[in-house]
Structure 1
Amino acid sequence: MSISGPGSVQSGFSFERAKATTRPAETSSTPKTMAPVDQVEISDLGKLMNQSPDNSDVREARLAQIKADIDAGTYDTPEKMEAALMKMMGQIDIEG
């Protein structure tokens, strides 16, 4: 297409249609925008606590034994009572 006439800066200035360009195909190396992903990281201390005896079958067996002793009336012994009292007195700074 050619534009010419009065008031034109250059006579015979031509315009060409821009050629349609094709986009290069996206490759796997092209970064894609992705939504952020939530992550959870458990510390070494957390992992250690999860493996502690508090969470094991040993603790469950011990609790079952204590419950059986309480039901049988053999759990509370004078030695256990004295140990509990000494521990309590130590916590409140009373010498026995």
Structure 2
Amino acid sequence: MQIFGPIRVSTSQATQANNRITPPQPGQGSATRSAGPVDQLDISSAAKAAFGSAPTDAVAGGGEIRLDRVAEIRRAIADGSYDTPEKMDMAMSRMLDRFA
């Protein structure tokens, strides 16, 4: 297969049997897989000091998460009443003020 751009795709090339991916057979474990790269995250001591012991507890504005408010907003999103024209106009106005 050849991809020439975001729209054109050509399938003029035949798919050969040796290029096909075959699913592993039962009984084949992960022993046949090669060891690939491993993701790793290192946090410096300065970052740990800045965020405290648990950086995931940080909330924008330094406040606590109001679970009742989160549940209320999730219900409004689910029933389709959260996005109103007024809210969209306000968001658009704030965005234009910020970038203009």
TM over 0.5: no
What is the TM-score of this pair, normalised by structure 1?
0.38
Q: Which has the higher helix share?
A: 2
Greater length-normalized contact order (CA 8 Å, ≥ 6 residues apart): 1
Structure whose alpha-carbon radius of gyration is higher: 1
What is the TM-score of this pair, normalised by structure 2?
0.37
